[in-house]
Structure 1
Amino acid sequence: MIETLLLTTVRIVTFDRQRQLTNASGFFFGQDQRLFLVTSRHVLFDKPTEHFPDRIELELHNNPDNLAESTGFSIPLYRDGQSLWRQGFDAAGGIDVAVLEIDRAALPARTVYRAFTPAHLPGRLDHIEIGTSLLVVGFPLGFHDTLHHMPVVRHAVIASSFGLRFQGEGYFLTDARTHRGTSGAPVVMRAANPPPSYGDLPWMLLGVHSARLDVGTRDLQLDEALGLNCAWYPDILLTLVES
């Protein structure tokens, strides 16, 4: 049996018409009967790098009896010149998280997936310490199990005080080895005593992986990379899916 966590995350390929651009990661988030794809905003639109895809394609499992079977599922990013995704802002500016609503009826009839819900978000009473062990589920450099079309996980730990906005931004830091293609991956922690509302997905969603941090003064020949990453707090998802 496949672990349900691996069914939350899908590989995203961005396109400009028929020209393939980049690989990234994303995951499913559900509220009531609605389903959303969550990823980093810069996966869908990034002006500094002139990254302007017009559609994305997901790789979905379409046979619960054989996970080696998959199909591509294309989603447009614009309609009538207007973007279909939602992105967030706060007092510090833009948040590198975006959601795109998916029409459940348009999915292949036998699609196999799992979705996080608001129940999986950390609450006020959840005490999460610095150094806590986490997993980042995604597709680094597009790498994955090409037979079963599954993501891989990287181990991470919380590297800044969870609950505080690092340098005033809406994210905390993780210490993990990550690569391009991991943008948009869920950052999760195993729930010790998951409540019934978690269903068969006993993982707490702590963040959305965005990008690696670096120091502008780092000597590229003498100094190793920091190995620190931004993970945006997931409470923004409630605002985006309800807007």
Structure 2
Amino acid sequence: MQTTVRLECLLRNGKTSTGTGFFFSFKLDEKTRIPLIVTNKHVINDSTRGTFVLTKRDDAGEPIVGSYEPVQLDHFESHWLKHPDPNVDLAVFPMAHLLNGAEQAGKNFFFLPLDESFIPSSEVLAGLGGIEDITMIGYPNGIWDIRNNMPIVRRGITATNLKHDYNGLPIFVIDCACFPGSSGSPVLIFNQGGYMDANGNLTLGGTRVILLGVLFAGPQHVAEGEIKTIDVPLQQLSISMSKIPNNLGFVVKSQKLQDFRAQLAAGA
């Protein structure tokens, strides 16, 4: 619950959008870590200003739930490093300078970043089944617990096999309620108290957390709603249409996060 952050963007057209980011960290060596916020390119594209809030921490290093500080950045899109592959909808925000500046001002924030150890190796993937329970954390339609700075948790299952690339792309599909604002949400396997792998081996009393990927899109179908004029043979008709999510989501595989490592390490 302390791993995600709600992103609110002011766009060039004057409209406001919301999305989800989550904290991630690359470990370069025993002393050097690169803290990041991860989201989708389309969440921050055309954003002139971005706002998010960070929970404060006390002297013991624990979160002060309900006490947080807003962070607002101009030229928001320029702060992000975008994945070079147009088929990979990922962007990262290196936040070390922000944290260092806050610390110098006497402000300390609490968050729990994921890291490369949560990205499944080929061996871990081999132990997963074709259908796995998943947990997705984020801010659907911008909804959040504003009093406590907490996200919304959704549950679902994998809709395609994690071992394969859906339609030849580094993505997979989930069966889960996915709405605007959920873009950028981490999709995880999160088992508490025990779990069974694809081979039927049961682990009791353990917790398993695997970062499978990052939600970036969801298919929708059209139903009655907003009035639109469409062309049909020989005439134009005014009909009522709206977009309805069909509870499927497209997820970028978490392995693509590792593509940022070399570029970030060069600038560290």
TM-score bracket, normalised by the shorter chain, equals: 0.7 to 0.9
- 1:39 maps to 2:24: no
SS at match of 1:239: helix
Question: Identity of aligned pairs, percent?
Answer: 21
Q: Using CA pairs below 8 Å that are at least 6 residues apart, which structure has the higher relative contact order? A: 1
SS at match of 2:22: strand
Q: Distance between the aligned counterparts of 2:222 and 2:181, measured in 1?
A: 25
The equivalent of 2:95 in structure 1 is 102
| Shift in alpha-carbon separation, 1:219–1:77, aligned structure 2, 3 A | closer
The equivalent of 2:216 in structure 1 is 210
| Shift in alpha-carbon separation, 1:76–1:236, aligned structure 2, 3 A | farther
Map 1:102-121 → 2, pairs under 5 A: 102-103=95-96, 104-107=99-102, 109-121=107-119
User: 1:242, CA displacement in angstroms?
Assistant: 2.5
TM-score by length of 2: 0.73
Q: Distance between the aligned counterparts of 1:20 and 1:147, measured in 2?
A: 25
The equivalent of 2:25 in structure 1 is 30
The equivalent of 1:123 in structure 2 is 121
Q: Distance between the aligned counterparts of 2:128 and 2:89, measured in 1?
A: 23
Q: Report the count of equivalent residues.
A: 216
For structure 1, the residue ranges without an aligned partner over 5 or more in a row are: 1-5, 46-51, 194-200
| Shift in alpha-carbon separation, 1:62–1:97, aligned structure 2, 3 A | same
Alpha carbons 1:77, 1:85 under 8 Å: kept = no
User: 1:149, CA displacement in angstroms?
Assistant: 1.1
For structure 2, the residue ranges without an aligned partner over 5 or more in a row are: 28-32, 196-206, 225-242, 264-268
Q: Distance between the aligned counterparts of 1:27 and 1:137, measured in 2?
A: 9
Q: Distance between the aligned counterparts of 1:172 and 1:225, measured in 2?
A: 17
Larger Rg: 2
| Shift in alpha-carbon separation, 1:212–1:65, aligned structure 2, 3 A | closer
- Structure with bigger helix share is 2
User: 1:183, CA displacement in angstroms?
Assistant: 0.5
Let me know the Cα RMSD of the aligned residues: 2.6
Dislocated runs of 4+, deviation >4 Å? none
Q: Distance between the aligned counterparts of 2:245 and 2:79, measured in 1?
A: 36
TM-score by length of 1: 0.80
